[in-house]
Structure 1
Amino acid sequence: MGLRSHEQLVVCVGVMFLLTVCITAFFFLPSGGADLYFREENTVHVRDAFIREELRRKEQEELRKKAEEAIPIPIPKPEIGAADDAEGRRIFVKQMIKFSWDGYRKYAWGENELRPNSRSGHSSSIFGYGKTGATIIDAIDTLYIVGLKEEYKDAREWISHFDFKEAAKGDLSVFETNIRFTGGLLSAYALTGDKMFLKKAEEVATVLLPAFDTPSGIPYSLIDLQTGRAKTYSWASGKAILSEYGSIQLEFDYLSNLTGNPVFAEKANKIRDVLTSMEKPEGLYPIYISMDNPPRWGQHLFSMGAMADSWYEYLLKQWISTGKTDDRTKREYEEAMFAMEKRMLFKSEPSNLWYFAKMNGNRVEHSFEHLACFCGGMAVLHSMNEPNRTISEHYLTLGKEIGHTCHESYSRSTTGIGPESFQFTSSIEAKTERRQDSYYILRPEVVETWFYLWRATKDEKYRQWAWDHVQNLEKYAKVNFFEPFLNSSPSYFQGAAGYSGIRNVYDSAPEQDDVQQSFLFAELFKYLYLIFSDDSVLSLDQWVFNTEAHPFRIRRP
């Protein structure tokens, strides 16, 4: 129905009124028109936002200062160089341990290792892909030894609820699991007498047993605990590796003696029986061995370093661990060392640096690995336990010379830290020109040798060399974050992170590799702490270290 005429009139008048108001308002805007109005309005908003941001920034700064004052530093950190005696340096190393442990505890608890730069967990292929807390188990004996009681308590609590078989996933290294997990738990038991650790050690060793079900008794390198399947490394062409199958006896024999369960010692003794019966080419042990029955040596590759090292170490230490009653291991150790000195020990020119070269058949490669630097300490330990004075002095000299050579690999680098491997050629000594050999992953072997040399000789230079390494770790390997975060919690800071390997020891500002290895706690920190401690702390008359530096009590005959 249409509008009446008077209603139409009212509508028209209303529309005209609104148009008049709008036009009038336009003329009363500030000069510059509507565009200027909106620009000024926007300027007001920007100014207000800036003021609010400035106030927020000041508030944040005040909160940061208050938080910094309120949060106590657990262990005050002295300046580098302030520790001028053994006690001060030992305390400093203890602070390093707590610093790196706090980083792991905060950012990677339960993970195998820490990425200190990324502040997250890390796991290398040797651990499979499960979260098995390798750092916790590798570190717990060190935490106990240095007296970090709360940290030890946390680690023990975690281990008490830990089920290794349930947590482990994928292919695990039998060797690494044995030396880090079985060895770490056995050491914790040896130090504390806490039977929980012994029970856990037996559980770990038990799940490794299917790897020994081979025709010869030589174990496979890898095992999947979920399926029970074991195998060798694909790159090893179906062969086992000397340092791996040869570095079982110390842990397995010790475990059998503690538990009364003979199966572990039997597995280790079977390996020894097989190797004893085999003819060694010129007295040397090749790196590879077949899985046949009887087994056969693989390619004639010989080394004191990777894939061979701890086999020689365990021959000596098994003899010591039995109270020097296992004459077979002593004899086989001496025969092996005699052959290696005869064929593989060289002295460089012009500096007369002693080193064990590598051999492939009769071809000699004049290089020496950081891993192989352990053998200086091995020679010193032999000297300390050798009743024949002439032989003892010979091995002490060998240990000193190897310790000196490995120190030269440190002192000749830009960072004062030695590379993974170094060469001796007509142009270089104790250095490497190969980029792929120039990294450092927190390895302990050089400090290990200095530790044994200190215990044997009391020559202060070994303590000084160790302290130099502490300072270089602080300068190049330490990762320390201190960043304020805006949140409602009173904890505004992400702080300590840990220590990382470095990619090139010859760079003045080396890139870090973002991995805090579990053996940093088990080995490097332990040896650094012990070198500044009294001899009564883990006396070498009462304790022997496995290749991961986990101490076991020496049996008395």
Structure 2
Amino acid sequence: MARILRTRTIAFCAVLIVLLYHFLPSENAPSLLPQADTVSRAGTQILAQYMNNANAIPHIVATKSSFLWNTVKFTYPPELTPKLPPPVSNRPRIQHDFGRESYSVTAVQERRREEVKRVFEKSWASYKKHAWMKDALKPLSGQYVDQFSGWAATLVDSLDTLWMMGMRRDFYEAVAAVATIDFGKSTSGSVNMFETCIRYLGGLIAAYDLSGHEALKAKAVEVGDLLYAGFNTENRMPVDFIAFEDAKAGGGLYVEDTVVSASPGTITLEFSRLSQITGDSKYYAAVSHVMDTFSENQNKTKLPGMWPMHVSMRRKDVVSGYQFTIGGNADSMYEYLPKAHALLGSASPSSAKYAIMSRTFMDTSMNNLFFRPMVPGNEDILISGNCDVIDYEGTPTPRLDPESEHLSCFIGGLFALGGRLFENEAYLQTGAKLARGCIYAYKSFPTGIMPERYNMMLCPDIKNCKWDEEQWVSERAKRKEWVEHLPKGFTTAKDPRYILRPEAIESVFVLWRITGRDEFREAAWDMFQAVANATDTPFANAAVSDVTVVGSQQQDYMESFWMAETLKYFYLVFADPELISLDEFVLNTEAHPFRLPKA
């Protein structure tokens, strides 16, 4: 009996020491805010479980929201077919076969990986201390902002990054907090369908796919049912903003007349994966009908193969516009086409359209949007521009505008992914040149970071392009937006900010994983150092006002995608390539990995 009591006493003291270390304030472990007291209690229970078995999944039960979205009586219920396709049985290999070579410079890459993690840990600690359960931290003032309905966007968005970085204690504390979020209340009267889908639903699904924690699945279903209420419309097309209280009443919502095409086009992955993990086809069916509208009209637009920047879901008009881009307002709609094919395959008629839509838009954009810029070193790179189709004497005439933006930099990685998915070498090589174009833009500016929006000189001959200084001076002088210190080859920096965006490192990550070429990993390190230095604040990292000059003023702004995407992609470049293998996961537009189901 004495031996048993002594053993229990020693065990109790050991757990008590660990708990005190974890919950007493220190430099490396800031205490939680007062509003997080319930999370602290939950965290104590979690840690006790975790100490008993490091492989155990702590018992956390999701608190039901104050309004249950699955109880809404729809006036216009969406169709329940088509049914979810069966899992894909044979996918082509996506990742490079690294073998032993991935460990060739382990010490160097390990130091880099740890440095990325250090930057993340600093941002996460400041979020916990100053903005816990709020949407975003303000990195200069240490204040917070709720811009996405007040459901702790940064917290949800960062869940899978915490898991990937091995920060299990923080992860399970975050899960305990997420389990209490009330999706029946909102800080705004309307809910942004797009942002809620990619950040909240995407974040919850990915964290569930990685950890298997049922509380995350329960919350994902709540958010999925909330977004599903956005399809309660007369023509079963989704709204852009969900009128929160009207949606609860179920009387039917009004579809906006004009929206950016990315909004209705960026639901496919989240809804399809939610159907896969729940077994309920209703989510897949709803979004499949939306994509039917785009599919049926893909070759009827002014630029056949692509859709205009603005569309009308109320009129189901995805044809009429004349502006075409893979940049802002349209980007993620195109991104989701090859990725939907990866997730769903082409075995069923309802999913077969994604491969067709992918190849068609990729061919069209190669012929009409991508251009070789004229640069002093004559590098063979590509940049993605915009295309306006204007009627000229009764004939629709495409006109390439050599304006690009940071958002467009995702396209290099997507083309590389498409190259593997569709076994098309031209797509892969185009993707590599597009990624190198964004790397070039980063290197060109004195801060080592590319601007939000800019123009470059267009090569008249893509195969025989030679630098012409006089032409550059002349072209730059025509532009109202040019500044004296622009790098050669650039004619404007229309928006010189850097707002912590991930798209360039996203493509660099994908090209590294697909090709295994070390040039991309080295470019990633250069980019990380430049970004970390320019954006660092006492609290975390802030947007930069002007990347064309060193020492530019910072802005009190840090979107949740800084920790959800940008730092995650940097980390994954330097991590073991089997962590979030592209043969096992497909990432949504917020860098949330969804597990690819196997037959």
Q: TM-score, normalised by structure 1?
A: 0.77
Confirm or deny that 1:383 pairs with 2:419: yes
| C-alpha distance after superposition, 1:250-290 (max 9, x if no partner) | 11011012112222111101101112222233222112222
8 A Cα contact 1:288 1:297, kept in partner: no
**Of the candidates 462, 465, 474, which is equivalent to residue 523 of structure 2?**
465
Match of 1:276 in 2: 295
Q: 1:285 to 1:463 in 2, by over 3 A?
A: same
Q: For residues 457 and 353 of structure 1, what CA distance do their matches in structure 2 show? A: 17
In structure 1, what residue type is equivalent to 2:413? G
Q: For residues 318 and 371 of structure 2, what CA distance do their matches in structure 1 show? A: 29
Q: 1:508 to 1:342 in 2, by over 3 A?
A: same
Match of 1:251 in 2: 270
How far is 1:365 from its partner?
A: 1.5
Match of 2:492 in 1: 433
How far is 1:347 from its partner?
A: 1.4
Give the alignment of 1:443-462 within 5 angstroms. 443-462=501-520
Q: 3-state DSSP class of the match of 2:555?
A: coil
Kindly name which structure, 1 or 2, has the bigger radius of gyration based on alpha carbons.
1
Confirm or deny that 1:404 pairs with 2:436: yes
Q: 1:353 to 1:152 in 2, by over 3 A?
A: same
Q: For residues 213 and 561 of structure 2, what CA distance do their matches in structure 1 show? A: 23
Match of 1:51 in 2: none
How far is 1:339 from its partner?
A: 1.2
Q: 3-state DSSP class of the match of 1:223?
A: strand
**Of the candidates 357, 367, 382, which is equivalent to residue 403 of structure 2?**
367
Higher-RCO chain (CA-CA 8 Å, sequence separation at least 6): 2
Q: 3-state DSSP class of the match of 2:498?
A: coil
Match of 2:449 in 1: 417
Confirm or deny that 1:286 pairs with 2:308: yes
Confirm or deny that 1:102 pairs with 2:125: yes
Q: 1:370 to 1:417 in 2, by over 3 A?
A: same
Match of 2:98 in 1: none
8 A Cα contact 2:233 2:255, kept in partner: no
8 A Cα contact 1:286 1:301, kept in partner: yes
Give the alignment of 1:204-353 within 5 angstroms. 204-228=223-247, 238-278=257-297, 279-281=300-302, 282-323=304-345, 325=347, 326-350=351-375, 351=378, 352-353=380-381
Q: For residues 408 and 95 of structure 1, what CA distance do their matches in structure 2 show? A: 27
Q: For residues 187 and 216 of structure 2, what CA distance do their matches in structure 1 show? A: 18
Match of 1:354 in 2: 382
**Of the candidates 544, 552, 557, which is equivalent to residue 594 of structure 2?**
552
Q: For residues 263 and 112 of structure 1, what CA distance do their matches in structure 2 show? A: 29
How far is 1:296 from its partner?
A: 4.9
Q: For residues 458 and 101 of structure 1, what CA distance do their matches in structure 2 show? A: 31
List alignment gaps of at least 5 residues for structure 2.
1-24, 31-105, 390-397, 458-470, 477-487
How far is 1:378 from its partner?
A: 0.4
Q: For residues 458 and 276 of structure 1, what CA distance do their matches in structure 2 show? A: 34
Match of 2:584 in 1: 542
Match of 1:6 in 2: none
Q: 1:554 to 1:438 in 2, by over 3 A?
A: same
Q: 3-state DSSP class of the match of 2:220?
A: helix
Match of 1:521 in 2: 563
8 A Cα contact 2:368 2:400, kept in partner: no
8 A Cα contact 1:215 1:293, kept in partner: no
List alignment gaps of at least 5 residues for structure 1.
1-69, 76-82, 481-496
8 A Cα contact 2:345 2:352, kept in partner: no
How far is 1:398 from its partner?
A: 0.7
Match of 2:95 in 1: none
In structure 1, what residue type is equivalent to 2:407? L
Q: For residues 145 and 369 of structure 1, what CA distance do their matches in structure 2 show? A: 29
8 A Cα contact 1:216 1:274, kept in partner: no
Q: For residues 119 and 278 of structure 2, what CA distance do their matches in structure 1 show? A: 35
Q: For residues 192 and 182 of structure 2, what CA distance do their matches in structure 1 show? A: 18
Q: 1:431 to 1:157 in 2, by over 3 A?
A: farther
The percentage of aligned residue pairs carrying the same residue is 31
**Of the candidates 132, 139, 160, which is equivalent to residue 158 of structure 2?**
139
8 A Cα contact 1:112 1:135, kept in partner: yes
In structure 2, what residue type is equivalent to 1:93? V
Match of 1:512 in 2: 554
How far is 1:74 from its partner?
A: 5.7
| C-alpha distance after superposition, 1:45-100 (max 9, x if no partner) | xxxxxxxxxxxxxxxxxxxxxxxxx955469xxxxxxx961111111111111110
Confirm or deny that 1:166 pairs with 2:166: no
Q: 1:131 to 1:290 in 2, by over 3 A?
A: closer
Match of 2:66 in 1: none
Match of 1:41 in 2: none
How far is 1:501 from its partner?
A: 0.8
8 A Cα contact 1:318 1:329, kept in partner: yes
Q: 3-state DSSP class of the match of 2:158?
A: helix
Q: TM-score, normalised by structure 2?
A: 0.72
8 A Cα contact 1:169 1:226, kept in partner: no
In structure 2, what residue type is equivalent to 1:358? N
Q: For residues 193 and 109 of structure 2, what CA distance do their matches in structure 1 show? A: 38
Q: For residues 454 and 430 of structure 1, what CA distance do their matches in structure 2 show? A: 27
In structure 2, what residue type is equivalent to 1:381? L
Q: For residues 187 and 135 of structure 2, what CA distance do their matches in structure 1 show? A: 11
In structure 1, what residue type is equivalent to 2:328? A
In structure 2, what residue type is equivalent to 1:240? V
Q: For residues 231 and 167 of structure 1, what CA distance do their matches in structure 2 show? A: 20
Q: For residues 563 and 589 of structure 2, what CA distance do their matches in structure 1 show? A: 13
Q: 1:232 to 1:498 in 2, by over 3 A?
A: farther
In structure 1, what residue type is equivalent to 2:129? K
Match of 1:31 in 2: none
Larger fraction in helix:
1
**Of the candidates 383, 388, 395, which is equivalent to residue 427 of structure 2?**
395
**Of the candidates 500, 507, 510, which is equivalent to residue 442 of structure 1?**
500
Match of 1:474 in 2: 532
Match of 1:113 in 2: 136
Q: For residues 432 and 318 of structure 2, what CA distance do their matches in structure 1 show? A: 36
